[in-house]
Structure 1
């Protein structure tokens, strides 16, 4: 085995490449996110299994990669509260904009699958809501466990937390290029449009990754980041702004407001904590 303590980056990139290969297969072959399920969850389950299988190899405990049993409910509550506050602001501003234009008609609860071309699908049965919730739980366990848990823990064997945070967050950003890439190959989006969508996804996802890394450092576990991540994804999938001219027309504005506010709050808390230390 490679000496992961002296040179952790090859191990991180190798693990990432395996996860990315599973993701590519699911997006281009199985396309579960385009099915009635509406979630690309197979590669996430594979990532969780790979994470579990790698633990004995690195001699890490689950607590050492962020799944600490200490203050679990407290940290989950903090992450959920953060998500609720910032998305209340995001929805509130979106609704005010639509009200000022005389366009707002209400909010609706149903399941969609998020896409860079707009939300897809419209399922309101309890079964699809449960599938959405379960899929997002699998998603946050895998992405937080791998990117913020294992990758940061491995990188910190040699490098600073800041360097580990940037590395894992950039990888998390690149992780999100799959959908625009598939859109180009399928012919549903132009090369220029896909490039811009991909660039926006990579940048915003990288910033999200940095935010969740800071939450990890602030709380000493992944639970707060997992809860905030879950609130981010599930809210977008379930709660929709309906207008006279369509649905979720200002979705990107809502998400940008919520994620920017969330990032600034976490950054403020992180800087404040470090100044006191």
Structure 2
């Protein structure tokens, strides 16, 4: 592929996947079913990956799905998630306790929404297994597209750092759909949506940068894929319930966890470079 066509190709693939994403999130609403997630988009991304890799004469191993380091990557990714979320949950509970809201940890399955979960399921074995499978698919699809395909293509024209920033920005914009859903459902006004939209793009972008660094250090997607899975699974299942509501400080919890995770990965990357 000629260098001048690389960015156009990345953007074309991004907009195609985004179109499917918005159709599902706004109209099909798979997240309101027993699946509690928008799985059609993820399956479509996997389809796009197969088609794209064949077109670009690439293999899945070329974009980070290598057998090498699977177990180590999973352990590192899950450990990173456990450390950062333990700290952020502790701070969240501390804030609620100080303010007299009597918080407690509860285990049940919900979808994710900026204004609070809108679909709740009992944590039966079947529901938990569906949640695990869906979140594995979600992590594999998004990591394969952004840190796999887009980062790989971007590095053919730009430096590693620039390519990482590009995929991270697209990853941030990808998550704006959460704000669009809240606007569509009229659970958020326009002013709040603007603030939340910018914040959420930055928040997801932080994760995009972090996970791109993980790929640069290891050459695989396993660390970021496992942390991505862990983050989503925890957000779907472990909830802070207080006298005034459920997951009221969820966004703050996620922000703290993401920033801590980025700091840790940057510190490790500097040590590795030395």
Instruction: State the TM-score, normalizing by the size of structure 1.
Output: 0.94
* Map of 1:130 onto structure 2: 129
| Rounded Cα–Cα distance in structure 1 between residues aligned with 2:93 and 2:187 | 30
Is 1:76 the equivalent of 2:74? yes
Change beyond 3 A, Cα 1:4–1:20: farther
Deviation at 1:82, TM superposition (A): 0.3
Is 1:48 the equivalent of 2:52? no
Which range moved further: 176-185 or 262-271?
176-185
* Map of 1:241 onto structure 2: 240
Report the 3-state secondary structure (helix = DSSP H, G, I; strand = E; otherwise coil) of the residue aligned with 1:7.
helix
Gaps of 5+ in 1: none
Deviation at 1:4, TM superposition (A): 4.3
> Residue 57 of structure 1: which of 55, 58, 81 is its match?
55
Q: Is the 8 A contact 2:114 2:251 kept in 1?
A: no
Report the 3-state secondary structure (helix = DSSP H, G, I; strand = E; otherwise coil) of the residue aligned with 2:196.
helix
* Map of 2:6 onto structure 1: 8
| Rounded Cα–Cα distance in structure 2 between residues aligned with 1:272 and 1:12 | 32
Is 1:201 the equivalent of 2:200? yes
Cα RMSD for the two superposed structures:
1.4
Shift >3 Å, 4+ stretches = 4-7
Deviation at 1:105, TM superposition (A): 4.2
Number of equivalent positions: 273
Which range moved further: 34-43 or 101-110?
101-110
| Rounded Cα–Cα distance in structure 1 between residues aligned with 2:71 and 2:150 | 24
Deviation at 1:273, TM superposition (A): 2.2
1:125-169: per-residue Cα shift (whole Å, max 9, x none)? 222222221111111111100000000101111211011101111
| Rounded Cα–Cα distance in structure 2 between residues aligned with 1:64 and 1:120 | 39
Q: Is the 8 A contact 2:167 2:208 kept in 1?
A: yes
1:169-198: per-residue Cα shift (whole Å, max 9, x none)? 111111011122233233332111111111
| Rounded Cα–Cα distance in structure 1 between residues aligned with 2:269 and 2:2 | 28
1:93-132: per-residue Cα shift (whole Å, max 9, x none)? 1122223333234211100111011122331222222222
| Rounded Cα–Cα distance in structure 2 between residues aligned with 1:216 and 1:195 | 31
* Map of 2:173 onto structure 1: 174
| Rounded Cα–Cα distance in structure 2 between residues aligned with 1:89 and 1:185 | 34
Instruction: State the TM-score, normalizing by the size of structure 2.
Output: 0.95
Q: Is the 8 A contact 1:87 1:258 kept in 2?
A: yes
Report the 3-state secondary structure (helix = DSSP H, G, I; strand = E; otherwise coil) of the residue aligned with 1:108.
strand
Which range moved further: 139-148 or 178-187?
178-187
| Rounded Cα–Cα distance in structure 2 between residues aligned with 1:269 and 1:179 | 31
